[in-house]
Structure 1
Amino acid sequence: MKIGILGAGMIGGTVGRLWAQAGHDVTFGVRHPARLASLIAGLGGKATAASALEAVHGADAVLAAIPFRAWPDIAGEIGGELGDKVLLDATVPDPPRDGAFGDAALARPDGVAFAVAPLLPRAKLVRAFSTVMWTTLGSEAHRAGDRIGIPLAGDDAEALALAERLVTDAGFDPVVVGPLSEAKRFDPGTKVFDSNMSGREVAAPLGLG
């Protein structure tokens, strides 16, 4: 599968590496592609670096792992190219880093997802990889026994199925919570956020077990 990744920082770089190791073709969309030479070199030809627009072009799915405050600008840059593709959104507001846009998202009664969804109304948005620290993603992928749980929420059944596959390929246990309106159940401040729970442990407090 061809996957575009917006950002190559802690989450994007870690998940992108895991997908490349699983055999997917990964393109990191960044402002300075040349700076990723060492990361790219270590992935055996399964990864490239390009602009954000180039990463989205031709991708079967896109993972957003950018600072939350960057969403309005990035959405304007890639929206036309993204169209109705699957967009896995791993972004989380981090006050005070993300300013008024991040604060407003955290204050929404319908959840963080609905600060992003209106910016890219055609995209098949799935909240994914938004609850686990990058260090855990890097150290616990493909672990023996119960794997780390990654909750997912989205309104498109095919997009959710694709997200489940990609979470599994990265070495984790996908936990489908429901439509996008249910993503608030694993937003910052909830029991399962930043918990490092297994899939079964994530499912239990969400009433999915």
Structure 2
Amino acid sequence: MRIGIIGTGGIGASLTLKLSAAGHAVQVANTREPGSMTKLAEESGAVATTLDEVGRDVEVLITSIPFGRMPDLKPIIDRLPGDVPVADTSNYYPHRDGRIEEIDDGKPEGVWIEQQLGRPVVRAWNSLVQTTLAGKGRPKGAADRLAVPVAGTDLAAKQLVMGLVDDTGFDPVDAGTVEDTWRMQAATPAYCTELNAEQLRKALALADHDAAMVRREAVLAIIGSWEPGGSIFEDIVALNRAAAGLHRLLGQDE
């Protein structure tokens, strides 16, 4: 499959590597020049290109940039053929993106993105910290395979993206429509908690919208208080599991 990826941060770079290794023809772009992606292109075999070119001949476009900058992609999205799905990996973090009143008032992140881009969007991979995506993918059928929620209203687009999630080493779990994307946002039991498919389905069903909104602020405040330096991703997973009361929600012992 011909795949375009916008963004070369931890998630975008890992998707470039994994989807290229799975046999897909990947082209990748960021806000800098293609020369900034030389190492990634060499390691993955992907083609480094420009934002103007990345969506010109693809079957799916994956966006992996800071959430608050998603509206900037509308000119690129507008040039895509109508049948090319868009998948997004971003998350709303107020300390980075600035306050977005509609989301703070409860609008699901997926709905907000669709409104900014004027196009259906599938949400996937946003519920993984970058070290989980990079290092914990497993072959299909492996006993320790983790799962990724995928949500979107366009069923064909969602099925296509679910196939790509499988290619990156994770079991795809249907998380509903774009209206349901709040169930996979920050501070829900499904968000960055490293669950298998059965556990993830339970976590999605047990998500509490109002509680998640409160927990998000508390969790982000805790992470913001940590000293910089070193890898904090395992700590983030542990914090999210604790904040969501995951052991209790899944009927496990503390």
TM-score where L is the length of structure 2: 0.75
Q: Does 1:54 align with 2:53?
A: yes
Larger-Rg structure: 2
Q: Does 1:42 align with 2:43?
A: yes
Q: 2:93 is aligned with what amino acid?
A: D
1:98 deviates by: 0.7
Aligned residue number for residue 134 of structure 1:
130
Provide structure 2 residue ranges, at least 5 long, that are not aligned to the other structure: 207-254
Check conservation: 1:19, 1:169, Cα contact below 8 A: yes
Distance 2:28 2:101 in 1: 28
Check conservation: 1:146, 1:199, Cα contact below 8 A: no
Distance 1:105 1:64 in 2: 21
Distance 2:178 2:130 in 1: 23
Query: Which structure exhibits the higher relative contact order, with contacts defined as CA atoms closer than 8 Å and separated by 6 or more residues?
Result: 1
**C-alpha offsets along residues 150-186 of structure 1, whole Å, 9 cap, x if unaligned?**
1011111110110111000111110001111111111
Distance 1:130 1:108 in 2: 21
Q: 1:112 to 1:145 in 2, by over 3 A?
A: same
Aligned residue number for residue 193 of structure 1:
191
Look up the SS of the partner of 2:192 in the other structure. coil
Q: Tell me the number of residue pairs that the alignment of Structure 1 and Structure 2 aligns.
A: 203
Q: 1:83 to 1:110 in 2, by over 3 A?
A: farther
Q: Does 1:5 align with 2:5?
A: yes
1:71 deviates by: 1.3
Superposition map of 1:91-170 within 5 A? 91-100=90-99, 103-104=100-101, 106-122=103-119, 124-142=120-138, 144-170=142-168
Aligned residue number for residue 22 of structure 2:
22
Check conservation: 1:53, 1:81, Cα contact below 8 A: no
Aligned residue number for residue 171 of structure 1:
169
Check conservation: 1:105, 1:112, Cα contact below 8 A: no
Q: 1:120 to 1:196 in 2, by over 3 A?
A: same
Of Structure 1 and Structure 2, the greater helix share is in 2
CA RMSD of aligned residues (A): 1.8
Aligned residue number for residue 209 of structure 2:
none
Aligned residue number for residue 200 of structure 2:
202
- Higher mean alpha-carbon deviation, 132-141 vs 110-119, is at 110-119
Distance 1:99 1:70 in 2: 10
TM-score where L is the length of structure 1: 0.90
Look up the SS of the partner of 1:182 in the other structure. helix
Check conservation: 1:88, 1:127, Cα contact below 8 A: yes
1:108 deviates by: 4.0
Check conservation: 1:93, 1:105, Cα contact below 8 A: no
Q: 1:35 to 1:139 in 2, by over 3 A?
A: same
Distance 2:98 2:144 in 1: 37
Distance 1:187 1:51 in 2: 30
